[in-house]
Homo-oligomer: A and B are copies of this chain.
Amino acid sequence: MTVISIPADSLFGLDNLPYGVFSTPDAGPRVGVRVGDSVVDLAKMLGDAAFAQPTLNAFMAQGRPRWVEVRAQITDLVVGDVPDAAVHSVDDVTMHLPIAVADYVDFYASENHATNLGRLFRPDAEPLMPNWKHLPVGYHGRSSTVVVSGTDIVRPSGQRKAPTDAAPTFGPSLRLDIEAEMGFIVGVGSPMGSSISPDEFADHCFGAVILNDWSARDIQAWEYVPLGPNLGKSFATSISPWVVPLQALDAARVATPVQDPTPLPYLQGEQDWGLDIDLAVEWNGDVVSRPPYAGMYWSPSQMLAHTTANGAAASTGDLFGSGTISGPEKDQRGAFIELTWSGAEPVEVAGEQRTFIQDGDEIAISATAPGHAGARIGFGEVRARILPAGS
């Protein structure tokens, strides 16, 4: 039997307990919970076959009462002796994509980001569209290219046409970018013809991850009218491996900024689902931005309510992204196109002046939030290296 030690300053203490899918050299992907620097094999510890699965979906589908029960069981058990065979060091495991992604929707919920992008993509028009403060604008992305942190990202090729070019050309993106976001995962869906109100959020949302919505700005700028982004985004979306349960975010809940005009009733709730999460964007080892989630205009509960307001089904494994998180300050911008103002204002990265991503670059986004009693909890990170086009 093993007693799991939790360092006093750990971001993975008992108020966090995120779930992930791990494998070891001797056994394939199954569900674990992170405690300090250990990963506990939940099928071995709790004997529920839902954990002996290569994704969290079966457990998530069991519903909120079960999520609460399992979290309480883990809290009780990991402070005592845990069977040796159920405990692994985080350094000895490989992490996998934690969920089978059903539908993936990406939003656009930061007023600073939407305003900055509006100025850059449509310099001659009002930066915010008339609908922006009435509904959380979003679009569907490609589910099959959601990958876990650590997966290399190959630079995408596509059609690019600068305004001064006579015709588009096909080739590797010259303006490869990130979008630092949070991702939210639906545990329990809703059938076609029904909808989820903002105050029902906790019955449906299982937890949150960090999400990097890789964006090829040159491909996107040429293709996106009138039906929205497609190949400029569809090549890859990375998420962090540890899903922080919604229960662990109690101390992080805050009100959203004042929403004016008042949203329509279907977007109103009594519960605060703004979240005081601090992100950090690291580019080749240098932190270049610290986007604050707390300033996001639309809450994740409003995003889920909006998604289902027309009676669209929600499913176990649905993933929705917040959209780029950008604060009001320059060093709080969550995309390099904003941080460098479309390349016009390079930033210093490891001693070099940089604009967009170069081959070989490594990007890591980390995040923490308030835990209980002044401590903090961690989301870990979503990290990837960029490989040249065609690799």
Interface residues on A, range: 35 or more
Nearest residue (CB) in B for A102 is B144
Known: A131-B223, A222-B131, A310-B231. Is A140-B137 also a contact (CB below 8 A)?
no
Closest to A317 in B: B144
- Contact present for A313 and B144 (CB under 8 Å): yes
Q: Which of A101-142 contact B (CB under 8 A)?
A: 102-103, 105, 108, 118, 121-122, 129, 131, 134-135, 137-142
Chain A 63-91 interface mask (CB, 8 Å, partner B; 1/0):
00000000000000000000000000000
7 interchain residue pairs of minimum CB distance: A228-B228, A156-B310, A140-B140, A139-B227, A227-B228, A235-B310, A231-B310
Whether A226 pairs with B228 at a CB distance below 8 angstroms is yes
Contact: B134 with A168, CB < 8 Å? yes
* B140, A234: Cβ atoms closer than 8 Å: yes
Q: For residue A109, give the distance in angstroms from its CB to the closest CB of chain B.
A: 12
Given A134-B159, A134-B168, A140-B140; A121-B226 close (CB under 8 Å): yes
CA distance A310 to B229 in the complex (A): 13
Cα–Cα, bound, A226→B310 (Å): 20
Chain B residues whose C-beta falls within 8 Å of the C-beta of A169 in the assembled complex: 264
Interface SS of A by simple majority: loop
Which of B141, B157, B310 is in CB contact (< 8 Å) with A310?
A: B157
Interface pair A309/B157, CB less than 8 Å apart: yes
Q: State A226–B121 Cα separation when bound (angstroms).
A: 10
- Check if A264 sits within 8 Å of B159, measured CB to CB: yes
A277 located at the interface, meaning its Cβ lies under 8 Å from any Cβ of chain B in the complex = no
A129 touches B168 (CB 8 A): no
With A121-B226, A145-B192, A167-B261: A135-B154 Cβ-Cβ less than 8 Å? no
Interchain CA distance A170-B135 in the complex, whole Å: 11
Contact A227 B170 (CB under 8 A): no
Other-chain residue from B138, B144, B311 in contact with A227 (beta carbon distance below 8 A): B138
Tell me, in angstroms, the Cα distance from A169 to B234 when the chains sit together. 33
With A145-B192, A154-B311, A158-B309 as known contacts, state yes or no: A139 contacts B228, CB within 8 Å.
yes
CA distance A264 to B169 in the complex (A): 7
Q: Does A340 contact B (CB under 8 A)?
A: no
Sampled A-B contacts (13; CB under 8 Å): A103-B143, A108-B227, A138-B227, A138-B230, A144-B189, A144-B192, A144-B315, A145-B312, A156-B310, A192-B235, A192-B236, A224-B228, A234-B307
Cα distance A105–B310 in the bound complex, in angstroms: 20
What is the minimal beta-carbon distance from A62 to any residue of chain B, in angstroms?
19
